[in-house]
Amino acid sequence: MTESMTNHDLAGRRQEWSLVCARCGGIFDLGPLVFGCPACASDGLQSVLDLRFRPRHPPTPLAARAGAAGLCRYLDLLPGGEADDWVSLGEGGTNLQRSRIIGPRLGLEALYFKNETTNPTWSFKDRYVAVTVNVARRFGYRRVVVSSTGNLGVSVAAYAAAAGMDCLFIALPRTARPIVDQARLHGARVVITRPESRQEVFEHCARHEDWFPVGLFLDRPVQNPFGIEGYKTFAYEMIDDLGRAPAAVLFPCARGNGLYGAWKGFREALEWGWAAAAPAMVGCQPEGANSLEVSLRQGAERAVELPRIESVAVSAAETIADDHALAAIRESGGDALSVSDQEILAAARELGREGLCVEASSALPVACLPRLVESRRFDPAAPVVCVLTAAGIKWPAHLDLGGPPIDEVENDAGVVDAYLAAFGKGRNGRG
Ligand SMILES: [Zn+2]
């Protein structure tokens, strides 16, 4: 592995990046460190590494970036981001859609939805995976392994295919069949394990040095500090589109990786003078899986672990959040909120009326929004963004949220006319 690393042209930009440990303060050169901080490990401790970016020159301002779209617009700000050799499926650059119904109902003049369902595999994970797979290639890897219930696994399968890499996807018995089949379509090998053995199987694969693990950015024996940088592009894109940072950004959170990555982007934008202020970051979780909210209310230094629960928001029902996400919420003056399954499904239904089809977890920000508005913590005229992380179509069992009835009609002009008449008068009074 070492030889191919040196063969790759990382040298020029490699000094701009380092890996830092918040626990011991250790700083390490950019390399495939996927088992946490080596210094802490030698003391028998486990600690997550985070990337630090110190560009040699001030980066090109957002407004002066022309041409490229999506993540490719910001490759100079991402690890492994070399414009002439970036494997892309067209990730990022998603629409910021102004709310027509929900915003006006809540008295918010500029409520926006960041529609992540238009990413190549229909979820925000593509930002994380694009960076991870490109970094893995630059480190000389030809194989990736991922453990996932859904969105992450499909995304890794697709990007591995685009990069010509082997992919092993460790899934669970409850992983939806369309997800398994999509991963297989991309050529991934899928293995299904029991939930209690999933982590061990993943770690076993990661210890084989030719497999690059696409784990999450978490305090776990196997972790991936690289992909989180892909989420910085949320911040760049919002500032690019709005001409300023939003007053608040609401994120659905399992562990809060997306929220933390976006916060890193906003911090950079402040540092480089691209925005005058940063938003309040608001973590949105299902009731009972609200590690962020409980930790904040308790004033806990580190995220509190909760008992496992079932929620309609499958992708967000985790027992513990990441400490970095908790710190980002505090640093940004944000908050963490939680809502019931009923509120989540009502929000998903209302988003449907805005023209958006999201998975239940992605409706969390909209479900939490009324509580944030009640707290009157920001100007109702200022832009507020709800990040809608993934598409509803991958979870067909959750799609029937009580729309209009389905009727059968015969090919009989009288019957069809009567059916149309039931709609009432049209805009031009033509009935
Ligand atoms: Zn350390």
Distance 142 CA to ligand 1 centre (A): 28
Question: How far does the centroid of ligand 1 lie from the alpha carbon of residue 232, in Å?
Answer: 24
The model's pLDDT over 71-84, given as tens digits with 9 standing for 90+, comes to 999 999 999 888 78
Residue 4 predicted with pLDDT over 60 = no
pLDDT for residue 59 = 95
Dist. CA 398 → ligand 1 center (Å) = 43
pLDDT band at residue 12, thresholds of 50, 70 and 90? low
Dist CA 148 CA 170 (whole Å): 6
- Looking at 3.20.20.140, 3.40.50.1100, 1.25.40.80, 3.40.50.2000, the CATH number of the domain 96-122+228-398 comes to 3.40.50.1100
pLDDT at 162 over 60: yes
Mean of the pLDDT values across residues 135-151? 93
Residue 206 Cα to ligand 1 middle (Å): 20
pLDDT digits (tens, 9 = 90+) for 331-340: 999 999 999 9
CA neighbor of 386 nearest in space, from 367, 368, 360, 366: 366
Q: What spacing in Å lies between the alpha carbon of 131 and ligand 1's midpoint? A: 24
Question: Residue 297 is encoded by which pair of tokens?
Answer: 């209310």
SS3 311: coil
Distance 322 CA to ligand 1 centre (A): 16
- Maximum Cα–Cα distance for the chain, whole Å? 82
271: left (phi over 0), alpha (psi -120 to 50) or beta: alpha
pLDDT at 397: 75
First to last CA, the chain: 71
Average pLDDT over residues 101-119: 97
Provide mean pLDDT across the span 316-323.
91
Burial pattern 220-250, b for ≥16 Cβ within 10 A else e, equals: bbbbbbbbbbbbbbbbbbbbbbeebbbbbbb
Dist. CA 306–CA 385, nearest whole Å: 28
pTM of the model: 0.93
Evaluate if residue 7 carries a pLDDT over 50: no
Distances (CA, A) of 133 to 66, 144, 153: 25, 8, 13
Which of 70-74, 314-318, 385-389 shows the lowest per-residue confidence on average (mean pLDDT)? 314-318
Output the CA 46–ligand 1 centroid distance in Å.
8
Compute the radius of gyration of the chain from its Cα atoms.
Answer: 22
Rounded Cα–Cα distance for residues 283 and 252 (Å)? 6
Cα angle 109, 112, 118 (rounded to 5 degrees) comes to 160
Question: From the CA of 79, how far away is ligand 1's center (Å)?
Answer: 21
Query: 338 CA distance to ligand 1 centroid (A)?
Result: 33
201 Cβ neighbours under 8 A, 6+ residues apart: 147, 170, 191, 193
How far does the centroid of ligand 1 lie from the alpha carbon of residue 53, in Å?
A: 18
State in Å: Cα 256 to ligand 1 middle. Answer: 21
Ligand 1 centroid distance, CA of 27 (Å): 8
Pairing of strands 27-29, 248-252: unpaired
Centre of ligand 1 to C-alpha 49, Å, is 8
pLDDT digits (tens, 9 = 90+) for 292-301: 999 999 999 9
For residue 247, give Cα distances in angstroms to 283, 334, 342, 424. 14, 10, 27, 41
Ligand 1 geometric centre to CA of 228 (Å)? 19
Q: How far is ligand 1, taken at its centre, from the CA of residue 167, in Å? A: 30
**Spacing, Cα 28 to ligand 1 middle (Å):** 10
Rounded Cα distance between 50 and 228, Å, is 9
Q: Is the pLDDT at 5 greater than 60, yes or no?
A: no
Residue 1: pLDDT above 90?
no
* Integer CA distances (angstroms), 236 to 105, 116, 231, 259, 428, in order: 28, 15, 9, 14, 43
CA–centroid distance, 34 to ligand 1, in Å, is 13
- If you measure from the C-alpha of residue 39 to the centroid of ligand 1, how many angstroms do you get, rounded to a whole number? 5
Residue 115's DSSP bridge partners are: 388
φ and ψ at residue 164, rounded to 5 degrees: 70, 30
23 C-alpha to center of ligand 1: Å?
A: 5
Distance 214 CA to ligand 1 centre (A): 21
In this structure, are residues 142 and 165 in contact, taking their beta carbons and an 8 Å threshold?
A: yes
Q: Where are the alpha helices (DSSP H) in 304-387?
A: 323-331, 341-353, 364-374
Whether residue 395 is predicted with pLDDT greater than 90 in this model: the reply is no
**Angstrom distance (rounded) from CA 388 to CA 363:** 7
Whether 13 shows a pLDDT value over 80: the answer reads: no
CA 407 to chain centre: 38
**Residues 49-63: b if buried by 16+ CB within 10 A, e if exposed:** bbbebeeeeebeebe
Mapped onto helix, strand or coil, the DSSP state of residue 244 is coil
Measure 217 CA to ligand 1 centroid, in angstroms: 15
CA of 351 from ligand 1 middle (Å) equals 43
253 Cβ contact partners less than 8 Å away, ≥ 6 residues apart: 259, 283, 284, 285, 292, 316, 321, 325, 336, 364
For residue 219, how far is its CA from the centre of ligand 1 (angstroms)? Answer: 12
- Ligand 1 centre distance from Cα of residue 40 (Å): 4
CA of 223 from ligand 1 middle (Å) equals 14
Amino acid of residue 363: A
Residue 57 Cα to ligand 1 middle (Å): 28
CB-based contact 231:92 (threshold 8 Å): no
